[in-house]
Structure 1
Amino acid sequence: MSQLIWDFEQMGEFEGTQIERLKRLAYSGILPEVIEGIFHTIRKSGNQASHYGTGSFEQAKFILKKAYKLSKWFYETYENDFLELAEYELPVIIDERANELQGQLDFLEQQLEDYKSKIEELNSSKEVQETRKSRSNKSARNIYLNEHDTRILLIDPELRKAGWEVDTDLLNFKTHKTVPEKGRNMAIAEWYCNGKWADYALFVGTTLYGIVEAKKYRSDISTDLRQSKIYAERVTRDHDIELLGNWNDYKVPFLFSTNGREYLEQLKTKSGIWYLDIRKKDNHAAALKGWFSPQGLVELYDRDLDESNDRLEKSDYDYLQDQSGLSLRDYQIEAIKKVEKKIIERPEEQRSLLVMATGTGKTRTVIGLSYRLIKSDRFKRILFLTDRRMLATQAIGSYQDNRIENLNTFADVYQLEELKDTTPDGETRLHFATVQSMVKRLFYNDSPLPIDSYDCIIIDEAHRGYNLDKEIDEEDLSFKDQDDYVSQYKKVIEYFNAYIIGLTATPALHTTQIFGEPVFSYSYRQAVLDGHLIDYEPPYNIKTKLNSKGIVWKKGERPKAYNPETGKIEELAVLEDELKFDVDQFNKLVITEPFNRAVIKQLVQIIDPTSDEKTLVFAARDEHADLIVSIFKEEYNAIGLPVEQGTIEKITGKSYNPQELTTQFKNEKFLPSQSR
């Protein structure tokens, strides 16, 4: 069925496991949350039965019922027809029906082949696809899940991903007298709390760290954690369990409430995992995107933020301005102070944005900031996130090379992990990754990183979340369009229970929607006035007839367009209204040699290729860069000024070793010819 859905949705070629296919379908918005849960439950049950011979009659009945609901959803979604069927009834067991059932299976396999002819019909237009998606969600909403179903299909799997041993039916105190054991991290179902039954009790060894209240899917969640608070008050030390303390009569530090539904801002009280640290009266419940790992809860309990904040406030900044270290300027120190002030005074906002002009030292500033945050133990592990491997590699080099305190670099003092390391270990304090790799690790992986893997995220070039590059699909991960990229980018940075610090020189229109208003800004103009940057000269404005007058077809005209299928220029229908193209956008989408040559003819009159100055020319995409390099060389030759090898070179993500080329461009007059 999953393969058929993949084909129906025209997801393209696929080589991978069943898990990977289901993850991709779910992440693309094709499988509703409940349907994904049913798929995985059936898959895991089948694996256990075939590989280990485990299972029970009760489990088999449960799986049959869910397979029935899954089939009903599939039919309603892809046949555009509503089935008014009664609740599922178990079939009568008749061994003699085996041949009959095999015949039905053969018939269904033939139907499966015939179904493939529907693919074109199912994807005939965007409207048809959107209607089907709406129908899919509506059918999924009609699937009733009681509390037990919700725990088996949705809550158990998510707890398991975070590292907990959990099985609502088997690891259950009420039905199996399951008790915690040393060396095991268990989410024990239906734990007795002096007359009440907590849905889950989270034990690290024999120590009770958390209580979970589970609701049935789509029911309201107790966002005030009232029921969990009752369990936390009533729990006792029976069965040799260890309680961590007593906080206003609550004997469990961390409380949770969930209905298994992924958190949606628009449905706050009906989604997410609501969490409360009960140890302080002024703490408030908040929604999480996932579960803490056992180790994460232990570290959360052990961490004293008040002590860390006090240590951060009392530490001096002199070493950051020392000439033998980072030698930060006053405005860079001010930027660090502004971020730290917000972290200490308004931690609940979990966002800070630094806006600093290109060339004013954002990287050195953030090296000093991150060193102070780790040194004070305000954060235990920082994720440095970029959207380019090259940007990450440059940042890694800066952290490894720049001395901070007592002639030591960040990497000399703390453990740093690079791009190749996919999972940070317990000693890691700084980890570098790209957005694209994180999407894979979090949303296309059956064992994603827990939400407590990082408690601070630094995002370089934060505005890029709203600027989809045509070559953003490094590491074999592509996004369909800008909205798709933004949603993935936003999902990654909001997945972790972490404080987010954004860095940018050019905040985009919607950057503040993610990061809030800047806590500190240092503009290009101010940097020039302060003598830290040199002002630019007046720009050359090159105009062509095309970009001056634009491209306009009048009402009644018949535009001509190239048809790539026939390879011919074809006349289109008569225009009912005037049609005008934005030339700037047109030139990014349609790369024409005459337009580029007209511009470059002017540039070669201005740029001296033999001087010590360096020039950057930005291209729309890789093939455009090739065209620019070629035309530049031709036009210099045409005016009698042939250029040496390495004078004009392309540096893009598709170049051989772009990081090395970038370093050579910065440090050498010409790029060595062997690097081409």
Structure 2
Amino acid sequence: MDKKQLSERDICTKFITPSLEQVGWDIATQVREEFPLTNGRIIVRGSVHTRGSRKRADYVLFYKPNIPIAVIEAKDNKHSLGDGMQQALGYADLLQVPFVFSSNGDGFLFHNKLAPDGIIERELALHEFPSAETLWQWWAAHRGLDDRQNNLVTQDYFSDGSGKTPRYYQLLAINKTVEAIAGGQNRILLVMATGTGKTFTAFQIIWRLWKSKAKKRILFLADRNILVDQAITNDFKPFGSAMTKIQKRQADKSYEIYLSLYQAVTGNEEEKNIYKQFSPDFFDLVIIDECHRGSAAEDSAWREILEYFNSATQIGLTATPKETKEVSNIDYFGEPIYTYSLKQGINDGFLAPYKVVRIDIDKDLEGWRPDKGMLDKYGNEIEDRIYNQRDFDRSLVLEKRTELVARKVSDFLRRTNRFDKTIIFCENIEHAERMRQALVNENSDLASKHDKYVVRITGDNEEGKAELDNFIFPEKTFPVIATTSKLMTTGVDAQTCKLIVLDQRIQSMTEFKQIIGRGTRINEEFGKFYFTIIDFKKATELFADPDFDGDPVQIYEPQAGDSPLPPDISGGEPYPEGQEDQDWPDLQDKPVTGGVRRYVVDNVEVRVVAERVQYFDANGKLITESLRDYTRKALAGEFESLYDFLNRWNSAEQKQAIIDELAEHGIFFEALADEIGRKSGKSFDPFDLICHVAWDMPPLSRKERAEQVKKRNYFTKYGEEARKVLEALLDKYADEGIGHVEETQILTISPFTEIGTPMEIVRFFGGVDGYRQALLDLEHELYCA
């Protein structure tokens, strides 16, 4: 057998897998081939998206189904023994396993991070691969685990036989938590971004501790009824009859798993007696969901519960750990034992990326001063001072500003999809109601037919709150647009929310992250791969804060011409910490003068400041120069000259490969096409966009290029049927671009199906090679000018 002729897959099946079997690895339960690690980041370019490459390890070896212990990267025999090592080390770092192997079928290069003799890498023959028990003993000894701790650490997670397993970061969070508890740690903090499965992770932690009998009575606390009910019916369902929900005035002590609202066991003295009916040592495990919002504050009612059950192991779950001068989760729980950030979730492709449309309004930036003696809509004399962004919708309402925001949001939905789920965050309940009315009027054609097209969902409105489940449920079309102030900042699993509108001043990083988290879930079935943020109040400036860990895809920032934006004159203080989830009255409910809560002005015109586009490049850095200047510099780094570009373009068998490569390096073809084509109304090829922006060549539209080819009588050397195919390819190019022409499945769609089957079409050119050559010749004719 000549190994050099074998594929990588052959090397795996003929050499690597047999080596594992020989030393006792259970192929069915301990060896996972082509193990998926990430989903591939969703890359957004304009209105289209694609997925980046997924990370997939050739082998991940598990001591038990819940404990990954080693990674093997395979290469074909044309590579050296260690050629896969660096790739394997990357996967091992992701999984945080100590044993790493690379193989080409001749043997193994073994990288042992725990090597006692300091020799980290050594070569092994095929028959020398270590057994599962050997690797586990090395790792257990390194961590100092005794038999009791080993039994707990190796307890399996729950599996329903469907094949669903925790993602790699969930496994890490679960394992690290169980290991910490095995080691005697009683206060634990897990930080996981919204949408990454905190409840599922909590369930698996509880399951393993409960099944191993390390913890016998468990209390799971959340602060939203919907979160408790969702947990009971979904992730926690396997607990069955061992589980109960604590209701007010009820304390049944015959269960093992208890779920409760904080509010059900705190409040007045009678309600507080509910948890005091349990002895302080009744629970040996308490898990606190969303522990950033109130449980950390020393004087909070929620903290009272934690201190009452002080002897229990307590695990805090949060997407946004709270760190202020007054409140610290880390003071209570300690440093997080594991963090999975929004940025990492987006990079791995488990969370939806976002693009940002920033819209600045003239009165927000410049301020507004009433004329002397000016009366508002209700006859109140307006206090003579400068009003700015801090005041709007609090102490002063400009009704035309509300109408403008409603119009801009509605225009965006008209350009995209008017039935995309949308949340609009307003300053307060009254603002949310005015915004609802403005949106109803702006969308009267739909609102007249569907009274739930726009709804207000706020804490004071029972009718609106009753629609929350319908808004969240993907199968429900209505409501489409929800206006809110605080109620929907957290605990809303809106999988299909595609638009988040910020018309609220947000100074709290905790609140900002929670709001952004409303859109980060992916739902491929309903076409939700990314979402858009429209920002009217400069809240997205928090993206630049070092405490924020997610990078936007792009920002559209309006401003006048090329002049800088006026300075921020809005001022203001952050919302009170610990109240992010409430519809609280805020400063606007204080009388501004003479007992007037806020002035309402209906005759002051407002306008959007002229728009300018800003983007984030491939490294997540904000591009502050113009799109053309940025593109010109980026292309200069890729090509020495126009001649160099033309050579590479014309020699490429697939032009789309060059386009994709440049897109990966941050060239925004969609945005360039919009900017350059907006005035002319023409559709340009990436080839023309590059030549025009980088070297000032006059661009030709795709239609113009196709027409030029047709005029040159290029088709005369082909038969009649082949000419029909080439003309159809040219029409496809004019309509959709070169990428579609190069796709192999193009011959299976109209109008090609009317000419013949793919095999018949290929025969018109003398076979597959002839068709490919004809396609290359066609591309040469398209770009030769």
Please state which band the TM-score falls in when normalised by the shorter chain.
Answer: 0.3 to 0.5
Q: TM-score, normalised by structure 2?
A: 0.36
The structure with more helix, counted as a fraction of residues = 1
Q: TM-score, normalised by structure 1?
A: 0.42
| RCO higher in structure (CA 8 A, sep ≥6) | 2
